[in-house]
Amino acid sequence: MKFMVRQKLGPDEDVTEGHLQPLARLVADSMLDEPKGPVVWLGGCGTVDTKQYYMLFEAPDYATLEAVVKVLPGLQSVERVMAVDKHTLARGLLLGMAKDYDERIKDA
């Protein structure tokens, strides 16, 4: 399952101490060739001016992920999401085109 984790720091909070270092601790083990633990960080983005961060994780369930991310300062929400990127979208398009081709040549 994929989850979006939202974090917002206060205007005076330090980005390195409040976001980068805690996130690094959470995701370091998931970036190994053989990830340790059930939670894997998939990426994220954030706003520079408002210090809001959106992180995409994969985890077996909500409770498992929540137990890991609860240490993030300014944690706003953890929500189950569906995620599409250029790789999954391209795979879907390729499979669809292959199916269309199979149907076209079958009828020929």
Q: What is the per-residue pLDDT across 48-60, written as a single tens digit (0 to 9) for each?
A: 899 999 999 999 9
Answer yes or no: are the C-beta atoms of 31 and 58 closer than 8 Å.
no
CATH class of 2-83: alpha beta
Residue ranges in the chain modelled with pLDDT below 50: none
pTM score, whole prediction:
0.75
Residue with tokens 């520079």: 48
Answer yes or no: are the C-beta atoms of 31 and 11 closer than 8 Å.
no
Q: What is the pLDDT of residue 58?
A: 93
Calculate the average pLDDT of the chain.
Answer: 90
Answer yes or no: are the C-beta atoms of 58 and 49 closer than 8 Å.
no
Phi, psi of 67 (to 5 degrees): -60, -30
Q: What is the pLDDT of residue 108?
A: 74
